[in-house]
Structure 1
Amino acid sequence: MHKVVVLGSRFGGSATAYWLHKLFARHELDVTIVDQWPMMTYRPAMVMAAAGHPQIADQWHINMAKKYEQAGFHFIRDTIFKIDPASQQVILTGHPPLAYDTLFVATGSDPGWATIEGLGPQRSGVCEDYLARNTGYAVHNPIHHIVIGIGCLHQSPYDPIQLQASLDVPGFEVGFLLDAWLSQHNRRKGTSITVLTPAGVPGESLGSISQEFLLKELKRRDIHLITHAQYERVTREAIVLKNQVTLEADRMIWVPPYPGSQLLRLSGLDDGYGWMPTDEYCRHERWPNIYAVGDVNRSALPKLGHIAMLQARTAVHAFWAERKHKTSRPYHPYILHVLWLGNGRGIFTLSDTLYGGKRQWVNVGRMAAASKSVFNWSYRIFAGWMPIMP
C-alpha cells in the first residue's frame, strides 16, 4: 500500500488530510499525520482572546487527532527532527524513523523571536493561545501605552511576491478590537494604541481598496500607525527603532518575524532561506514526491489559512492525478480574508492584485463580521473538514 505521510496538523495539514480522504478509497493509501499536539489551537480566534477576553483561548482547541482516526488515518504525536529525502524517511524524536512514498510538509514557518535583540515570547503576542490569554488578562489592568509590533518577513529573494511584514492583519485586527473593548469600558481616552509595521501600508497583502479603508479607519479611531519600522532592539518597557525613536509600552503585542523553517534547512529541502521551492503544483523542485503546503511553501504567505487550504487542494489533486493518469489544475492564489473591526463589524477582502490580477471586492459592515464568525464556528464544528472547502 502506498505510504503517505503528512507533517503538520493546522490549516494546511488538516486540509491535506481532508482531500486525501475525499479523493482516495481507504484501501489505496496508508496515511499517517504527525504533529506535536493532538489538539489544534485555532489561531484566528486568538485576537478575541487578546482583546480582553482571555477565556476564549481555552475554548478554541480542536481535536484533530480524533478526526483523522475516524477517517482511518494514523496519528503520531511527536516532534519532527529531520526529513531525509534520499531514504524517504522522517526522523522523529520519540518514534522510529517513519518511511514514506509521498510526503506532504505542512509544518509552517518558525517564529523568529531571536531575530530582534531583546525580543521573545515574554514580550507577549497574539498568535499562540498562551500569549493571547496573557494579553487578555493584562489589559484588564490599567494600561497607558499599547504598542503592537509586526515583525519582518524574511523572504527568499527568488520569491516573485516580495512583502515587508510577516503578516500584519492580525496586528491591526487586535488593535481595532482593543479599541472597541477599551471604549466599552470607558478606558480608551487614557490609553494610546500604536501599530508598528515594516510595510509601507496597512494590510500589505490585501489590495489598495482595503488599504485605503484601513488608513482611514486607523485615523478615525486614533490608532497611531508607524510604517517602514526598522527594529533596533526591544526592552521590557520600550521598542527602539533604528532611527533612534523609542516607543514606551507598558503592554506589547507582537506578531513575530518569520525567517522560514529550521526543519527545511536541516533537511536540505529549502532554497537557502528556509522556504521550500516548488512548482505550480506545490511539488518540490528536486524531490517530486514531496509537496509543500502552507507557510513552509515559498509561494505562500505566513498565517493566511486560506492560502494553505488552496495549496492543500492543489497538492493532493496533483498527487491524485499522477496516480490516476489524469490532469489537475495548477495553483492559482488569491487573497480571501476577513478582519474584525470590533462592535460587530468587519472588512471582507477578496483580491488577486498581489499576484498581478485586477480583481478587488471589499465589503465593510456586519455581514463581513458575520461571515468570519460563521467560518470560525464551522471550522470548529467540523474539525477543519467543512462541507465547502476552497
Structure 2
Amino acid sequence: MTTRAVVLGARFGGLAVTTWLRRLYSPKELDIILIDRWQDTIYRPGLVHAMDQPPFGFVHRVSMPLADHCRRLHIKSVQDIIVEIDPDGQKVYTASLPATDYDVLFIATGSESAWENIPGLNIRHGGVCEGYQARHSSWKREQWKQGHFVFAAGPIVGSPHWNPKITVGCECPLLESAFLFESWLNNQGLRNKTQITVLTPATSLAENTSPKVQQRVAQLMKSHGIDVLTQCEFERVTDKDIYIKGQRIPYDGSLWVPPIKGPSWLTGTKVDDGYGWIPTDSYLNHPQYENIYAVGDGTSHPWPKMGHAAMVQSRVAVHHWHAKRHLKKLPAPYRPYLVWLLETGGPYSQFTVTNVFYGGTRNIVYQGRWPAWIKRMFQRGYVWSTGSLPVMP
C-alpha cells in the first residue's frame, strides 16, 4: 500500500516540503496531498512593491497557480479550509470534505494575523501580508499628497517559554515598504511634504539580528530621513491617531505588519503548546507524535519567521523523516540564522546573514547593487518554478 504524506499550507514551507518529498519518492512510492484554502499562492516578499508600483499588476506578477505546482510534481491538491487534526486517528478534517488520512503530516500553515489584539486596528489601516491588502495599500499610496505616514509593527503573541524572546514577527517587509515609499515620494516630488515614522514594540529595529546589523539599519533610517520610535506599547488605533502608552501619534496614512499569533484552528488541540504554536525538536519533529512535523512561522520557537527559514526547515524535516524511515544517518538538525535582502529604494539593497541573536558568530552585512539583483532573480525563479527551484536552500 502506498504511503501517504499530507502537507498543510502552500506557502514557502509547504511548497518546499512537497518539492523535497517528490525528489526523494516517486508517485508510486509516496502519495502526496497538499491542502490549502486558496487556488493560488503568492510570493509574499514581492508584495512590498505596493509602495512603489501601481495597484494592478504587481500582485499578478508574484501569484502562482497551485495547480501548476501540483501538476509538475504529480501531487494532489485540495482547496479547503483546515478545521482540525486528529493526531491519534491520523486524520485531517476540512470544512467541506471527508477526513483525509495520513501516514506522515507536515504542518506549514504559518502564523495568523491578529489585528484584533490592538483595539481599533483592522485591515483598513493597510498591510502587505496578503495580496488583497497589498492592492489596498497601493491604491492608498497612489492617492497620497502630503502629511504623516506611519509604518507600524504589531507585537507577536508568542509563548512565554521562548528563549531568546522576540517581540515582533517579521520587520523586513515593514522596513522595505518604508524605504520603497520614500523612494516613490522622491520620484513624485512629495518627499518634502511627507513625514515618515516607523513604530515597533522592539527595543531596536532588527531585534533578532546583531548589534552590528541594528546599527546599520539605524544609520539607513537616519540617512533616508525616517523617524523611528521603539518600545511601543500599543493601546488603541483610530483612523486619525495611534495611541501608545503615554503618547498619541496623529497620522494621515499607515501600513501595518499586524500582530501575529499561532494558527487559531490549532489552539487547544493535542498538537499545540498551549499557546497556539506547534512544539518541535531541532528536526522539526513533534515531541509527542513522531509522524507529525511542523515548519515555518507556526513553530513554537523564536526562530526567524521568514520564508528562507521555512524552506531550510522543510529540507531538514523531510530528510529527517526519510532517514528514520530507511534507518539512515540523520541529517544535520536545524540551526536558526537570519537571511535578509533588504530593499532600500533605488538600485541598492542590504544583504545580511547572521545568527548572533541565536548564540552564533556569523555576522555578514553588505550593502550594494548585487543583493538587489540577486533578490530580483530569486523572485523570478521562484515564481517561474512555483516554489520548486532547481537548487533549494
| Structures share fold, TM-score greater than 0.5 | yes
Give the Cα–Cα distance (whole angstroms) in 1 for the partners of residues 320 and 39 of structure 2: 27
Q: Does 1:51 align with 2:58?
A: no
Q: Which moved more, 1:296-305 or 1:324-333?
A: 296-305
Residue by residue, what CA displacement relative to the aligned partner does 1:171-192 show, whole Å, maximum 9, x if unpaired? Answer: 1111111111101111000011
SS in 2 for 1:377: helix
Deviation at 1:266, TM superposition (A): 4.3
Question: Which of 309, 312, 323 lines up with 1:310 in the alignment?
Answer: 312
Give the Cα–Cα distance (whole angstroms) in 2 for the partners of residues 229 and 354 of structure 1: 21
Question: Which of 225, 228, 231 lines up with 1:225 in the alignment?
Answer: 228
Match of 2:116 in 1: 114
Give the Cα–Cα distance (whole angstroms) in 2 for the partners of residues 324 and 180 of structure 1: 53
Q: Does 1:379 align with 2:382?
A: yes
Contact kept, 8 Å, 1:294 with 1:300, in 2: the verdict is no
Give the Cα–Cα distance (whole angstroms) in 2 for the partners of residues 95 and 2 of structure 1: 21
Match of 1:329 in 2: 332
Match of 2:154 in 1: 151
Deviation at 1:283, TM superposition (A): 0.7
Residue by residue, what CA displacement relative to the aligned partner does 1:126-165 show, whole Å, maximum 9, x if unpaired? Answer: 1111111111121222231111110101111222231111
Match of 1:196 in 2: 199
The residue type paired with residue 215 of structure 1 is A
The residue type paired with residue 14 of structure 1 is L
The residue type paired with residue 250 of structure 1 is D
Give the Cα–Cα distance (whole angstroms) in 1 for the partners of residues 354 and 55 of structure 2: 32
Deviation at 1:52, TM superposition (A): 4.2
Q: Normalized against structure 2, the TM-score is what?
A: 0.96
Give the Cα–Cα distance (whole angstroms) in 2 for the partners of residues 134 and 259 of structure 1: 23
Question: Which of 291, 294, 301 lines up with 1:292 in the alignment?
Answer: 294
Match of 2:101 in 1: 99
Match of 1:166 in 2: 169
Question: Which of 242, 263, 268 lines up with 2:245 in the alignment?
Answer: 242
SS in 1 for 2:344: strand
The residue type paired with residue 21 of structure 2 is L
The residue type paired with residue 204 of structure 1 is E
Contact kept, 8 Å, 1:52 with 1:137, in 2: the verdict is no
Q: Does 1:344 align with 2:347?
A: yes
The residue type paired with residue 294 of structure 1 is G
The residue type paired with residue 32 of structure 1 is I
Contact kept, 8 Å, 1:54 with 1:137, in 2: the verdict is yes
SS in 2 for 1:337: strand
Question: Which of 203, 213, 216 lines up with 2:216 in the alignment?
Answer: 213
Deviation at 1:301, TM superposition (A): 4.1
Contact kept, 8 Å, 2:15 with 2:387, in 1: the verdict is yes
Give the Cα–Cα distance (whole angstroms) in 2 for the partners of residues 302 and 95 of structure 1: 34
Match of 2:41 in 1: 40
Give the Cα–Cα distance (whole angstroms) in 1 for the partners of residues 157 and 35 of structure 2: 26
SS in 2 for 1:247: strand
Residue by residue, what CA displacement relative to the aligned partner does 1:272-299 show, whole Å, maximum 9, x if unpaired? Answer: 1111111121011111110001011113
Give the Cα–Cα distance (whole angstroms) in 2 for the partners of residues 70 and 165 of structure 1: 36
SS in 1 for 2:260: coil
CA RMSD of superposed structures (Å): 1.3
The residue type paired with residue 8 of structure 1 is G
Give the Cα–Cα distance (whole angstroms) in 2 for the partners of residues 159 and 302 of structure 1: 13
SS in 1 for 2:176: helix
The residue type paired with residue 5 of structure 1 is V
Deviation at 1:70, TM superposition (A): 2.5
Q: Does 1:67 align with 2:72?
A: no
Deviation at 1:371, TM superposition (A): 1.2
Deviation at 1:26, TM superposition (A): 2.1
Deviation at 1:42, TM superposition (A): 1.4
Q: Which runs of 5+ in 1 are unaligned?
A: none
Residue by residue, what CA displacement relative to the aligned partner does 1:11-54 show, whole Å, maximum 9, x if unpaired? Answer: 00000001001111222111100001121121100101233432
Q: Which moved more, 1:104-113 or 1:205-214?
A: 205-214
Give the Cα–Cα distance (whole angstroms) in 2 for the partners of residues 128 and 4 of structure 1: 27
Deviation at 1:323, TM superposition (A): 1.2
Q: Does 1:262 align with 2:284?
A: no
Q: Does 1:186 align with 2:189?
A: yes
Deviation at 1:387, TM superposition (A): 1.4
Give the Cα–Cα distance (whole angstroms) in 2 for the partners of residues 33 and 253 of structure 1: 32
Give the Cα–Cα distance (whole angstroms) in 1 for the partners of residues 376 and 303 of structure 2: 22
Change (3 A) 1:183 1:193: same
Q: Which moved more, 1:343-352 or 1:61-70?
A: 61-70
Give the Cα–Cα distance (whole angstroms) in 2 for the partners of residues 109 and 262 of structure 1: 9
Deviation at 1:166, TM superposition (A): 2.1
SS in 1 for 2:201: coil
Give the Cα–Cα distance (whole angstroms) in 2 for the partners of residues 31 and 360 of structure 1: 38
Deviation at 1:119, TM superposition (A): 0.8
Give the Cα–Cα distance (whole angstroms) in 2 for the partners of residues 306 and 371 of structure 1: 14
Q: Normalized against structure 1, the TM-score is what?
A: 0.97
Match of 1:80 in 2: 82
Contact kept, 8 Å, 2:51 with 2:184, in 1: the verdict is no
The residue type paired with residue 211 of structure 2 is S
SS in 2 for 1:139: helix
Q: Does 1:11 align with 2:12?
A: yes
Give the Cα–Cα distance (whole angstroms) in 1 for the partners of residues 11 and 25 of structure 2: 21
State the number of aligned residues: 389
Contact kept, 8 Å, 1:109 with 1:302, in 2: the verdict is no
SS in 2 for 1:282: coil
Deviation at 1:302, TM superposition (A): 6.1
